[in-house]
Chains A and B, each alone.
Chain A
Amino acid sequence: NAGVTQTPKFRVLKTGQSMTLLCAQDMNHEYMYWYRQDPGMGLRLIHYSVGEGTTAKGEVPDGYNVSRLKKQNFLLGLESAAPSQTSVYFCASAQGYEQFFGPGTRLTVL
């Protein structure tokens, strides 16, 4: 089992460009989450999903959109990237209380 995978691992964008981060899990988990982690800080929840076809806002949702069309995939979109969105993005999935994390995507917005 691959667990939780994230694509891409690194990306550099210019201000105003758009992109989609892909998260995939092969554990048949119902819950999926997108976090961002900034230097010296813990993780902050962007959006999450409690099942296929559902999404909900987290703590810092502005500037991001998500979709969960398939149970195993959770997409995070940036429609118009801003320098403030420079961060490391982590996806996680869960069936019970424990969350399983992907390796992260390092995004730089110039």
Chain B
Amino acid sequence: SQQGEEDPQALSIQEGENATMNCSYKTSINNLQWYRQNSGRGLVHLILIRSNEREKHSGRLRVTLDTSKKSSSLLITASRAADTASYFCATDVQGAQKLVFGQGTRLTINP
């Protein structure tokens, strides 16, 4: 079964607004990663946050991690039409050399 549950499943906002996506997971992790998938393409790595970190920034991306609640959020600020894609969280479970992906959030940025 999927380790990660993402919320919302779909999100539609206006260009320039901020987009927030949430991810919950079940077991202890080494790190949590976020990936983007444009329609018909493979996934592209966006950002990684380790289990001992609480917040991380990369450009317009901000990721938070709350290990006590087993949850993470991805914030995209000042959204652009090019941010339209599906976003997946993936957990690197402790002791395993593999990622477990959530079901994804489909983000649509309206011009």
A: contact size bracket:
20 to 34
Count residues on chain B whose CB falls below 8 Å from chain A CBs: 23
B103 touches A50 (CB 8 A): no
A48 touches B98 (CB 8 A): yes
In the bound complex, residues from chain A placing their C-beta under 8 Å from that of B9 are 40
Q: Mark B40-54, 1 if CB is under 8 A from A, else 0.
A: 111111001000000
CA A103 – CA B45 in complex, angstroms? 14
A33 touches B42 (CB 8 A): no
A98 touches B98 (CB 8 A): no
CB of A26 to closest CB in B, whole Å = 15
CB of B68 to closest CB in A, whole Å = 22
Residues of A within 8 A of B (CB): 4, 31, 33, 35, 40-45, 48, 50, 58-59, 90, 92, 97-104
Q: What are the nearest 8 A-B pairs in CB distance?
A: A101-B42, A42-B101, A43-B101, A101-B43, A98-B45, A42-B103, A103-B42, A42-B102
Residues of B within 8 A of A (CB): 2, 4, 9, 30-31, 33, 40-45, 48, 88, 92, 97-104
